[in-house]
Amino acid sequence: MNSVTAVMVPLMLVVSALGGDATPPSKTAAKFPELKASNLESREFNLPGDFAGERNLVLIAFQREQQEQLDTWLKEMKRFQEADPGFQYYELPTIDKLNPLMRWFIDSGMRRGIPDKNARARTITLYIDKKPFAESLQLPTEKTVYALLVDRSGNVLWRAEGTFDEAKGEALKKALRERTN
């Protein structure tokens, strides 16, 4: 028996015993899960159906320290809204499930920190089990922010991560153009 056969036969037996094959499983399309949440103006949402736009950029952050990254996206959103009347955007701080008192405390602090009523209206805090949420959207880490373009059915049409830059802006513009034709 040559050395390749000596390695391959046991490997194939292990793969076979585990019930799998040698090809990686295909990924299903990412989808925004159905959930209930409230914005900082206390309006309740059934997401993704209550997103106002035909195309919605959801900016997802998992950690307070990611606000600077989010702000790079937020300051660019006006130009996308002006170019596409079917476009809306939302900031989604994503936090593990908490009791009502802790949610009130956090939301009150965020409300005080965001003086602009429109910004509060588009900030929807998610108090959820983060692991299945991240898995459904194929978000591999909580160490960065994500920008996902989704429709009201929750289909993810485009994605980026990290700080906004012009290359991401051009890619978003292209994705919006493709969805309006």
DSSP per-residue codes, the chain: --HHHHHHHHHHHHHHHTT--SSPPPPPPPBPPPEEEEETT--EEEETTT-SSSEEEEEEESSGGGHHHHHHHHTTHHHHHHH-TTEEEEEEEEEE---HHHHHHHHHHHHHH---HHHHHTBEEEEE-HHHHHHHHT---SSS-EEEEE-TT-BEEEEEESS--HHHHHHHHHHHHHHH-
Model confidence at 9, pLDDT cuts 50, 70, 90, reads: very low
Give 41-66 pLDDT, tens digit per residue: 999 999 999 999 999 999 999 999 99
Mean pLDDT (whole number) for 99-123:
93
- Residue 37, pLDDT > 50, answer yes
Lowest mean pLDDT among 19-23, 121-125, 140-144, 160-164: 19-23
Which residue segments constitute the domains of the chain, with CATH numbers given?
A: 29-180 (3.40.30.10)
In this prediction, residue 68 carries a pLDDT of 96
Q: Cα separation of 54 and 31, whole Å? A: 15
Q: Name the more confident of 24 and 119.
A: 119
Residue with tokens 């702000």: 71
In this prediction, residue 179 carries a pLDDT of 84
In this prediction, residue 10 carries a pLDDT of 31
Give 136-174 pLDDT, tens digit per residue: 999 999 999 999 999 999 999 999 999 999 999 999 999
Averaged confidence pLDDT in the chain: 86
pTM of the model: 0.82
Residue 173, number of CB atoms within 10 A of its CB? 14
What does the block give as tokens for 104? 């009130």
Q: Which of 92, 79, 162, 172 is nearest to 133 (CA)?
A: 92
- Under the phi-then-psi rule, with left for phi > 0, alpha for psi from -120 to 50, and beta for the rest, what region is 161? beta
Residue 14, number of CB atoms within 10 A of its CB? 10
